[in-house]
Amino acid sequence: MKLKLEYIYVAAIVISILQLIVFFTNLEYDVEGWGKNSLRNLSNYVSEVNFQIIPYDFCQKPGMLLIFVCSAPQNAEARQAVRETWGSNKVVLNENVELLFFLGNSLNASVQEAVLIESEKFNDIIQADFSDSYYNLTIKSTLMLQLVSNKCLDKYKFFFKIDDDMFVNLPKLVKVLKEQNSSENVLLGKMMCGTKPIKDPTSKWYCPTYMYNGTYFPNFLSGTGYVMSMDVTRKLYNSAMTIPFIHLEDVYFTGLCAQRSGITPNTLFEFSTGYVDDNSCDINHLITMHYVTPEKMRNVYQRIQQPEFLGKCSQYKSVFEPIAWIRSTLFIPPARWKRKRIC
C-alpha cells in the first residue's frame, strides 16, 4: 500500500511538472508598448501625430523616384554618409530623384536640438511627433504612407523606403524601375516566404497570438528596403486603416495590407539583406546591401566609381562564396534564422 502511495505521489509530481511546462511554453508575453489590451486601430494614433519638421519645398518638383530613408534621431553620422555617397545624386539616368530622411522624436534634448540644426542646414529631414523606437516602426511607416499619398501622388512614379544602414546602387534601381511594364500595383523588394511567427519572447521579431494567430505570415518583403508605385502608397495606407496593428512593419504592410489591397509583392534578386564584402564584385551588381556602417558606405561608393574595379567586375557572375555566406548566415543570431526564409 505504501509503495502504491509513493507511485501516486511521483505520478502527481510528474503531472504537475508537465502542466507547468505546458503553461510556461504557451505563456505569452506582451510586446513592448503594445500589450494585449492596447488599442490597435492605427487611425487612433496617426490622426493625433503632427509633422514638426518638413522641408519647405517638399514634393514641389516632379520626378521619377521619391526616397524616404528611415533613420533614428541619433543616427546623424549614418545620414551624413548617405548624403555623401549614394544619396548625393539628384538626377540618375536622366530621371529626377528626391531623397529625404524620416525620423520620429528623441527624448534626449541635445539630440533633438542637433536634429533641428541638421534640418536647417540640409533641408532634407521630415520629423513626426511620435516616439521613434523599433516597436513603433509600423506607426512610422503609416505616417510615411499617409504623407506621401496625400502630398506626392501626382509628383512621382515610385516611392522607395529604405533603412539608413543600407547601401543603394541608385542607377541600377532606376534602370529596373524604367524597365517595369507598368507604373501601377508595383511592390518590389526581397521576398520572405513561408515565415512562421516567432514565439521566442527574447527575439525582437517575437509575435504573440494576440497580434497574429495564423500559422504562417503571408509572403512579405524585407523591411530593410522596398519600392512601390505611387498608387500603392494610397492602397496600403487605406488597408492599414482597417487592419489591426502588428509591430512587425514589413509583415504588416507588404504582407497583410498588400494582401487586403490585392497587390502581389515581387522579389528583386538584386536586393540583398545580408553582409557583402567590400572587395566582392557583388557590390557592383546588387541594388541594396545591408549592415553597412558609415565607413563602409563611403568605401563601397568609392569602389564602384573606380574604372579598374568596374572593368574587373564587368564579366563577373555571382558564385557561392563561403566566407560571405558564413558572415551573413552563421553570425546572425538563431532567432533571425527562423525569419530568413528568403525566396
- How crowded is the C-beta side of 62, counted as CA atoms within 13 Å? 3
Per this entry, what is the length of the chain? 343
Buried b / exposed e over 270-303, threshold 16 CB at 10 Å, is bbbbbbbbeebbbbbbbbbbbbbebebbbbbbeb
Sign of CA dihedral 69, 73, 78, 84: positive
Of 69, 65, 94, residue with least CA distance to 81 = 69
Tens-digit pLDDT profile for residues 26-46: 578 999 989 998 889 999 888
Asked if pLDDT for residue 334 goes beyond 70, the answer is no
Which has the higher per-residue pLDDT, 22 or 212? Answer: 212
Strand partners, 34: 31
**Other beta carbons within 10 Å of 184:** 12
* Residue 256, pLDDT above cutoff 80: yes
Confidence (pTM): 0.86
**The C-alpha cell that represents 275 in the structure block:** 553582409
List the single range of 19-28, 63-72, 211-220, 285-294 with lowest mean pLDDT: 19-28
The percentage of residues in the chain with a pLDDT greater than 90, rounded to a whole number, is 71
Distances, alpha carbon 154 to alpha carbons 64, 157, 183, 235, in Å = 11, 8, 12, 15
Nearest to 292 by CA among 85, 126, 91, 97: 85
pLDDT one-digit tens code per residue, 109-146: 999 999 999 999 999 999 999 999 999 999 999 999 99
Q: Are 228 and 158 in contact (CB under 8 A)?
A: yes
pLDDT category of residue 166 using cuts at 50, 70 and 90: very high
Domains of the chain: 43-267 (3.90.550), 281-337 (no CATH)
